[in-house]
């Protein structure tokens, strides 16, 4: 599925011609203003519209105390992808400010974090010691990338084998590129999580099935 994007290279603010839209490859994540959401087939979760690529299960992480949805998690055979969106200033420095805090948290957990240049610019490759269900020591790998839009920041965390194996990362990266962020116009302090919601057809996993 391709999406047309507004071009800002000329600074004119004019929309591209139809021929330009058709020949320019899509390169998301996208702001909601760049996409025709009525024609978009993604799962509408409020501030995020997600189009999973490949055979994955979409889950929503819910805060137990507040009951609010705090993250979107896609789970597949070779890993998982967590998506979170936050309000940000328009200066474009949110990811630069967030990376040191993530690195400090990884160090607190006894792990490591290394910056590298990847598909989405500066990324973090994190390694954290964990225990397997059998009680054996292991290392959990995660690759954290981000994309800054118009007053928002999308943070994507790829976990499992796909975090370190480029051959497995392709569908996950494409899923990130297809994400649409709906920021809204209300004022929010930078770092405020953008609200997520359950789609109408979803139900909580602890709810009983109807007879």
pLDDT for 201: 62
Is the per-residue pLDDT at 18 higher than 80? Answer: no
Most confident range, picked from 15-24, 91-100, 117-126: 117-126
pLDDT tens per residue across span 145-182: 999 998 999 999 999 999 999 999 999 999 999 999 99
pLDDT tens per residue across span 56-107: 999 999 888 888 889 999 999 999 999 999 999 887 789 999 999 999 999 9
pLDDT bracket for residue 134 (50, 70, 90): very high
What residues contact 170, with CB distance under 8 A and at least 6 apart? none
Domains of the chain: which residue ranges?
A: 26-181
Is the per-residue pLDDT at 9 higher than 60? Answer: no
Task: Tell me 165's DSSP state.
Answer: -
CA distance 211 to 201: 17
Closest C-alpha to 176, from 69, 23, 27, 8:
27
Contacts by 183-186 with C-beta closer than 8 Å and gap 24+?
A: 183/31, 183/32, 183/47, 183/85, 183/87, 183/149, 183/150, 183/151, 183/152, 184/47
* Domain 26-181: assigned CATH number: 3.40.1000
What residues pair up with 80 in beta bridges, in sequence order? 75, 159
Is the per-residue pLDDT at 119 higher than 60? Answer: yes
Mean pLDDT of 14-26: 42
CA distance 195 to 176: 18
């Amino acid at each position: 599925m391709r999406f047309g994007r507004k071009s800002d290279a000329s600074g004119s603010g004019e929309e591209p011609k139809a021929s330009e839209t058709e020949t320019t490859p899509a390169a998301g994540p996208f702001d909601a203003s760049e996409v025709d959401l009525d024609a978009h087939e993604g799962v509408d979760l409020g501030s995020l519209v997600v189009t999973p690529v490949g055979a994955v299960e979409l889950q929503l992480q819910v805060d137990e105390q507040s009951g609010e949805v705090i993250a979107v998690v896609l789970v597949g055979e070779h890993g998982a992808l967590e998506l979170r969106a936050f309000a940000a200033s328009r200066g474009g420095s949110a990811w630069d400010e967030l990376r040191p805090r993530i690195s400090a948290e990884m160090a607190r957990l006894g792990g490591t974090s290394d910056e590298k240049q990847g598909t989405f610019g500066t990324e973090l490759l994190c390694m954290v010691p964990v225990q397997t269900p059998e009680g054996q020591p292991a290392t959990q790998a995660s690759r954290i990338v981000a994309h800054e839009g118009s007053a928002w920041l999308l943070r994507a965390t790829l976990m499992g084998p796909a975090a370190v194996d480029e051959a497995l990362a392709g569908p996950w990266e494409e899923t990130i590129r297809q994400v649409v962020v709906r920021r809204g116009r209300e004022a929010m302090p930078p770092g405020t999580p953008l609200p997520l919601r359950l789609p109408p057809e979803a139900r909580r996993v602890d709810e009983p099935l109807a007879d």
